[in-house]
Chains A and B, each alone.
Chain A
Amino acid sequence: MRRVVITGLGVVAPNGTGVPAFRRALREGRSGIRFHQKLQDLKLTCQVAGFPSVDEALLQSRFNEEQRRNINGVMTYGGLAAIECWLDAGLSLHDDQPDWNAGAVFGTGIGAADTIGDKLAPMTRDGQSRRMGSAVPEQAMCSNVSALLGGIFGLGNRVSTNSSACATGTEAIVESCRHIRAGMADRMIAGSSECDSPYVGAGFDAMRVTARKGNECPERASRPMSASASGFVPGAGAGALLLESLDSALARHARIYAEISGAAVNCGGQRGGGTITASNPEGVRRCIRAAVAESGLAADPVGELGYINGHLTATGGDPKEVENLLAALRLPPEKLPWINSTKSMIGHTLGAAGAIECVATVLQLHEGFIHPSLNCEDTHPQIQRIARSIPHELVEAPHLRAALKTSFGFGDVNACIVFSKWTEA
C-alpha cells in the first residue's frame, strides 16, 4: 500500500481567508462569527453566522473574467481554497495537457442553495427560464466545484463530488487517500465547500438546532462543550488538501505537512439509537477505532496520539461524542489527549466542516500548537471529567506526533482520519 502525504493546503474560513490568516486566527483564538442583518430580516432565530470575507482583488487574481461571471458561492469558496492549495504544493496552473495522474474529490453538503433559491426556482416559477443564462446547470449540479477544478488544473484522473452531510470534507480526504494508496493516482485535491446562502441555515433553524441565544454577542454564540451551548452557528467556506503519494512528493522535493496514517468511513446503519439525524454510538466507536488501528497507534494512543480535533458542534451531540471517544480509545477520562473544537471560532460550516477542520488539524500538527477552544469555560457537566484536556488558551505543542480528526453527519455517517507527523527517517 502506497503511503500518502499532504503537500498543499488552502482554506477560506470565516475567521481567515487563506492559510496565513487562518493560522493566525487559530493561534489567537479569533472568532469569525458575526451578526448578519439579512438573517434578522428573514426572521431566522439564529442571526449570527460564520461567513468568510473575500475581497474583489483576490477574486480577480484567482479567476478569469469568464469564471467570475459563472461561479456561485460554493464554487467561489471551493475554487479559492483549491487554487491556494495547488499553488502551495508548488504545482503549475498553466499546463496545456491534462495531468492524467492528478484528480479531485471535492464535496459539498447543501451545494448550490444560492443559485437554486435566488435564480433557478424564482425565474422558473415566474416563467422567465428563457433569460436564466447558460451557467445555471453548471452552478446547480452537485459536481459544480469538482468540475470547476478539473478545468482550472487540467485534471485527467478521477474528478468527482462526494456528499455525506457534515462528514463530507473528511470523507473526501479518505476517498482521495484510498485512490492514491490503490495506485490509481499520484495527486488528488481533496476538500469540500459550502456557500453562505441563508437557505443553507434556514432548514436547521426550523429544526431548532441552531444557536438560540447568541445574537447579542456573536463571538460567544458558538459554544461547543459548554453547559450553556444552545445549538450550532451556521457557517460557510471551504478547505482543500493536496494529497500525494510519498514517492511523488519526494521525487519533486515537495514540502510535506503530514502523513495520513489512518483513515476510515462507516455508517451506523440508523440502528442501536442511530437515526437519520443521530449517531449510532457503536458506529462512531468503530470508525474511530478503525482509523486509529490503521495508523498503528492503537496500542497506546496516549503520548503518540496527542490531539483530537472533534466534530463538537455545540449541540446535544457533544457529550455523546466525548463518551464515544473515551470508549473507542479505551481511555480513562484523565488520559484523553488534548481536544478542541474549531467550530468554536468558525461555527459549523456543514459540508465544508471536515475539510476546513482537517486543514486546521494539519496546521496544528505541522507547527506544533493546539488552538484554544472558545466559549466552554462553563464546561458541560457531562464533559467535566475531561475538562483538563480542553485548552482555553493557545498551547505550544512542539512534540505533537499525531492527531485525530473526527467528523459525523446526518444519515448516521462517520469519517475519521489520523494525521501523523512525517519524518524522513
Chain B
Amino acid sequence: MAKESNMERDKVRAEFVAMIQPFVRNLNPDQIQDDTLLVDDLNVNSARLVDIMLEMEDRFAIRIDDEEAGALTTVGGAVDLIVAKKRRAA
C-alpha cells in the first residue's frame, strides 16, 4: 500500500515538475527537490503562481481554494496538495 502510494506521489511529482518548466527561470529540473522553493529557488514570478494553480486544476482534475494556495510555496507542498486532493476525490 505504502509502495503504491509512493509510486503515485512520484508520478504526480514528475508531472508537476514538467508542468512548471515554462515558469522556471534558473534551475535544472534534475536539481529540484521537495523543499525547493518555487519563487526563491526556481525564480518563478510570484504573479504566475496563480497560473500554476490553474494548470494544476486542469491537469489533475482538482479544485484548489484560495486558502489552500499557501501550499504552493515548495515543490513538495504543491505535490502533497495534489495527491491529497486526488485521494479525496477518488
Task: Give the nearest-CB partner of B45 in chain A.
Answer: A66
Interface 9-residue window, one of B10-18, B28-36, B46-54, B78-86: B46-54
Among B22, B49, B50, B54, contact of A66 (Cβ-Cβ < 8 Å): B22
Among A69, A133, A135, contact of B22 (Cβ-Cβ < 8 Å): A69
Alpha-carbon gap, A69 to B52, bound state (A):
12
**B50-A133 in contact (CB<8A):** yes
Knowing A134-B47, A134-B48, say if A65 contacts B22 (CB, 8 Å): yes
Residue A131, interface by CB 8 Å: yes
Alpha-carbon gap, A82 to B26, bound state (A):
26
Alpha-carbon gap, A131 to B51, bound state (A):
9
Please, which residues of chain A bring their CB within 8 A of the CB of B47?
134
A204 to chain B, nearest CB (A): 34
**B22-A134 in contact (CB<8A):** no
Q: Is the interface of B mostly helix, strand, loop or mixed?
A: helix
Q: How many chain B residues touch A (Cβ–Cβ < 8 Å)?
A: 10
Please, which residues of chain A bring their CB within 8 A of the CB of B51?
69, 133-135
Alpha-carbon gap, A133 to B53, bound state (A):
9
**B23-A133 in contact (CB<8A):** no
**B54-A133 in contact (CB<8A):** yes
Alpha-carbon gap, A84 to B19, bound state (A):
31
Q: Is the interface of A mostly helix, strand, loop or mixed?
A: helix
A117 to chain B, nearest CB (A): 21
Interface string of A68-92 (1 = CB under 8 A from B): 0100000000000000000000000
B60 to chain A, nearest CB (A): 15
Knowing A66-B45, A66-B48, say if A131 contacts B54 (CB, 8 Å): yes
A141 to chain B, nearest CB (A): 13
**A134-B50 in contact (CB<8A):** yes
A64 to chain B, nearest CB (A): 9
Alpha-carbon gap, A131 to B54, bound state (A):
7
Please, which residues of chain B bring their CB within 8 A of the CB of A133?
50-51, 54
B62 to chain A, nearest CB (A): 14
Interface string of B36-61 (1 = CB under 8 A from A): 00000000010111110010000000
Please, which residues of chain B bring their CB within 8 A of the CB of A66?
22-23, 25, 45, 48
Alpha-carbon gap, A133 to B50, bound state (A):
6
Task: Give the nearest-CB partner of A69 in chain B.
Answer: B22
Please, which residues of chain B bring their CB within 8 A of the CB of A135?
51
Interface string of A40-68 (1 = CB under 8 A from B): 00000000000000000000000001100
Alpha-carbon gap, A406 to B62, bound state (A):
57
B64 to chain A, nearest CB (A): 11
Task: Give the nearest-CB partner of A138 in chain B.
Answer: B47
B66 to chain A, nearest CB (A): 9
Please, which residues of chain B bring their CB within 8 A of the CB of A131?
54
Please, which residues of chain A bring their CB within 8 A of the CB of B45?
66
B88 to chain A, nearest CB (A): 20
Please, which residues of chain B bring their CB within 8 A of the CB of A69?
22, 51
A124 to chain B, nearest CB (A): 16
Task: Give the nearest-CB partner of A135 in chain B.
Answer: B51
Alpha-carbon gap, A135 to B51, bound state (A):
9
Which residues 121-150 in A have Cβ within 8 Å of B in the complex?
131, 133-135
B42 to chain A, nearest CB (A): 12
Please, which residues of chain A bring their CB within 8 A of the CB of B49?
134
Alpha-carbon gap, A131 to B58, bound state (A):
11
Alpha-carbon gap, A69 to B44, bound state (A):
14
Please, which residues of chain A bring their CB within 8 A of the CB of B22?
65-66, 69
Please, which residues of chain B bring their CB within 8 A of the CB of A134?
47-51
Alpha-carbon gap, A133 to B49, bound state (A):
9
A304 to chain B, nearest CB (A): 52
Alpha-carbon gap, A155 to B54, bound state (A):
32
Interface string of A250-271 (1 = CB under 8 A from B): 0000000000000000000000
Residue contacts A-B, CB under 8 angstroms, 18 given: A65-B22, A66-B22, A66-B23, A66-B25, A66-B45, A66-B48, A69-B22, A69-B51, A131-B54, A133-B50, A133-B51, A133-B54, A134-B47, A134-B48, A134-B49, A134-B50, A134-B51, A135-B51
Task: Give the 6 A-B CB pairs with smallest separation, nearest first.
Answer: A134-B50, A65-B22, A134-B47, A134-B51, A133-B51, A134-B48
- A133-B50, A135-B51 known; 14 new pairs, CB 8 Å cut-off, are A65-B22, A66-B22, A66-B23, A66-B25, A66-B45, A66-B48, A69-B22, A131-B54, A133-B51, A133-B54, A134-B48, A134-B49, A134-B50, A134-B51
